[in-house]
Amino acid sequence: MELKTIEKALLVFKCFAQSNSSLGTTELSRMLGTNKATMSRVLSTLKKHDFLEQDPSTRRYRLGSAMALMARAVNRTMNGEVVAIARPFADKLRDEVGETVHIEVVSGNNIYLAYAAVTPNPVSLTIEVGDQVMPHAHAGAKAIVAFSEPDEIDRWLKRDFFPFTKNTVTDPDELREIYREIRKTGVAYDWEEYLHEIYAVAVPIFNHKNNPVAAVLIVVPSYRMEKKWDSQSIEALKETANRISKRLHSSRIIL
């Protein structure tokens, strides 16, 4: 039985996703088990609407500008879904470790606190959901930047950094060294670098392109730090981040 035209069009896109190269009409007809005339009509329609482009010399097709727009739309949707996906995992981690858990998310050229799973005895903070967090002082932001591409790290480090406390690191070379250590361990820390008597530990979250788009972190007051800063809590944090990354279709995990 012949596949419906819309089904053929969708399968054509799958062929391009699998081949990662240009494809000809005959080749696509063979791959999908349909006749060349039918395939030619499908390809012409997709070309008309910019989903495909055709090389005038080879007559072979490649993905067009409309597919690039679709890809960007997917990225925006995935970023918007990070908090919705991460929220139940953050709540579960809060209940497991008995401490406040934050989700920090990249949005444009900045990083923001996007969700707070607060304990019945909340930590006293001057930061609220929606506030910007900084890549030199906040654990989650440091985790995100540390796993970014080198040119992205350069871009983040071009900013002027304010010392929130005596522990805040503002020197770009020192921060690069901190980022290198975070990449080795998979874990970022805030040692009273944003607020006195507040500590935090974070692990990055990756999207379907294996890029860091968020981080999950545990926030702990200094008087409970030694009790809560154990290997069991760190492992629970890593497991939470990896589960969220998996839900975002990432193959990257933090061991």
Q: What is 130-187 written as a DSSP string?
A: T-EE-TTT-HHHHHHHHTS-HHHHHHHTTSPPP-SSTT----HHHHHHHHHHHHHHS-
**Residue 188: φ, ψ to 5°:** -115, 145
The confidence score (pLDDT) of residue 2 equals 46
DSSP-assigned states of every residue in 196-246: TTEEEEEEEEE-TTS-EEEEEEEEEEHHHHHHH-SHHHHHHHHHHHHHHHH
Mean of pLDDT values over 88-93: 96
- CA dist., res. 122 & res. 135, Å (int): 24
Mean of pLDDT values over 70-82: 61
pTM for this model (two decimals): 0.69
3-state DSSP assignment of residue 188: strand
Which domains, and CATH codes, for the chain? 5-63 (1.10.10.10), 74-247 (3.30.450.40)
The confidence score (pLDDT) of residue 9 equals 83
The confidence score (pLDDT) of residue 19 equals 66
Structure tokens at 26: 């005959």
- CA dist., res. 42 & res. 135, Å (int): 48
Mean of pLDDT values over 117-141: 84
- CA dist., res. 125 & res. 139, Å (int): 14
Comparing 24-33, 62-71, 154-163, 189-198, the range with the smallest average pLDDT is 62-71
List pLDDT tens digits, range 155-210. 999 888 999 999 999 999 999 999 999 999 999 999 999 988 889 999 999 998 99
Structure tokens at 216: 């999950």
> What mean pLDDT value characterizes the chain?
87
Please check the confidence at residue 1 and state whether its pLDDT lies above 60.
no
The confidence score (pLDDT) of residue 65 equals 86
Please check the confidence at residue 3 and state whether its pLDDT lies above 60.
no
- CA dist., res. 105 & res. 82, Å (int): 8
Residue corresponding to tokens 């995990």: 253
The one-letter code for the residue type at 180 is: R
pLDDT category of residue 78 using cuts at 50, 70 and 90: very low
Please check the confidence at residue 74 and state whether its pLDDT lies above 60.
no
Name the most confidently modeled range: 125-129, 189-193, 218-222: 189-193
- CA dist., res. 130 & res. 114, Å (int): 6
The confidence score (pLDDT) of residue 228 equals 55
Please check the confidence at residue 253 and state whether its pLDDT lies above 50.
yes
Mean of pLDDT values over 32-37: 87
Higher pLDDT, 172 or 132: 172
Higher pLDDT, 22 or 142: 142
**Residue closest to 143 by CA, chosen among 245, 85, 214:** 214
The confidence score (pLDDT) of residue 225 equals 66
Please check the confidence at residue 148 and state whether its pLDDT lies above 60.
yes
Comparing 134-143, 173-182, 224-233, the range with the smallest average pLDDT is 224-233
Output b/e per residue, 45-79; b: 16+ Cβ within 10 A: ebeeeebbbbeeeeeebebbeebeeeeeeeeeebb
The confidence score (pLDDT) of residue 128 equals 81
